[in-house]
Amino acid sequence: MGIAANKFRLLFLKAHQSDIEYKLTLIFNRRKALLDQSMQIASQQSNNVFDTDDYSELYDGQTPGALPGFTNPVGGVPIQQDPVPTGSYEEQTAVLHALDQQLEMDAEGLKVLLESAKTEVEAVDKLLFKNIEKEYKTFSHS
């Protein structure tokens, strides 16, 4: 291959490498958004634990040092009844976990492609350097 062909190939490979890096950035941003969404779901679930209709206080009313503003979240709830169902929470986190796993597998595949693209760029760089060196040697002796 000539210098021009190698240079074109190098430019094409660099563009391909940039595309892969951009796709990886998008995947990492999506995973970050999933993390934020997961934190919101967990926060909502933890807030729902303390959201009941029973406002009985945890102290007996005679101890002055107790926290009168803290309420018992399960004071009037029967034992067999779950005050905050976790089915929805578990379902939402399972969906987020599956999406995160899929994105992680996609990212791993792109990382392999990126490494191969970097290796090919290095090989073409060396080949281009050798071609230029050969051309200078050829034309400098004429």
Q: Which residues, 6 or more positions from 41, have their beta carbon under 8 angstroms from its beta carbon? A: 89, 92, 93, 96
Of the candidates 39, 40, 25, the one whose C-alpha atom is nearest the C-alpha of residue 103 is 25
76 located within any domain: no
Query: Does some domain include residue 45?
Result: yes
Instruction: Compare 41 and 139 and report the one with higher pLDDT.
Output: 41
48 domain-assigned: yes
- Residue 67 inside a domain? The answer is no
Rounded to 5°, the CA angle 119-2-13 comes to 30
What is the reported pLDDT for 49? 65
More confident residue, 50 or 126: 126
Domain residue limits at 44: 3-52+86-140
User: What 3-state DSSP class applies to 57?
Assistant: strand
pLDDT score recorded for residue 58: 45
pLDDT digits (tens, 9 = 90+) for 71-104: 545 455 444 445 556 678 888 899 999 999 999 9
Q: Is the pTM of this model over 0.75?
A: no
81 falls within a domain: no
Residue among 104, 120, 102 at smallest CA distance from 24: 104
Q: How many domains in the chain?
A: 1
The answer to the question of residue 62 being in a domain is: no
Say if 42 falls within a structural domain.
yes
pLDDT digits (tens, 9 = 90+) for 7-65: 999 999 999 999 999 999 999 999 999 999 999 988 888 777 666 554 444 444 555 54
User: Residue 121 domain-assigned?
Assistant: yes
- Please give the C-alpha separations between residue 127 and each of 9, 11, 14, in angstroms, as whole numbers: 11, 14, 15
